Amino acid sequence: MTLLEKFADPTIIQTMPFGDKMMASFYVAILGMGVTFLALVILWGVITLLSTVVAGFEKKDKNIKVVKETTKAKEVVTEDIPKGDDLELVAVIAAAIAAATNQPVSQIFVKNIRRTTDSATAWKKSGIASQMSSRM
């Protein structure tokens, strides 16, 4: 009977000398760590393989998107906004803020209007909007 087989039976464990118990405990610990390490190495390999597969698909998608974006850039038409429409623009922005905050327009004062570059995704905008509406 091997040491690990003796370790499986609780009645035999009580009769074993201390040195054998420690040696069997050492074997069990090494076996457990070895199995865990092997599982982690396999998991690492699978993740690496999947990341290379996904990266291959993303490269194909990026080439397609670049072609579409360049065609969209050629179709853009620019318009000059006349300077006389500033008051109308302020009124529209104030009305939009009033509608979003459920406040009368008379309580909203527009001090400054400037265009910002917005690189936020639709999910980020939705999250910000829900956070803002939950605080009002």
pLDDT digits (tens, 9 = 90+) for 26-63: 988 999 999 999 999 999 999 999 998 888 777 665 55
The rounded mean pLDDT for the chain is 78
What is the three-state SS of 22-78? HHHHHHHHHHHHHHHHHHHHHHHHHHHHHHHHHHHHHHHHHHHHHHHHHHHHHCCCC
**In this predicted structure, what is the pLDDT of residue 96?**
87
Share of the chain above pLDDT 70, in %: 78
- Global pTM reads 0.38
**In this predicted structure, what is the pLDDT of residue 29?**
94
pLDDT digits (tens, 9 = 90+) for 98-128: 888 888 888 888 787 777 677 778 888 888 8
Based on DSSP, count helices (H) and strands (E) in the chain, helices before strands.
5, 0
- Measured CA to CA, the distance from residue 39 to residue 27 in angstroms comes to 18
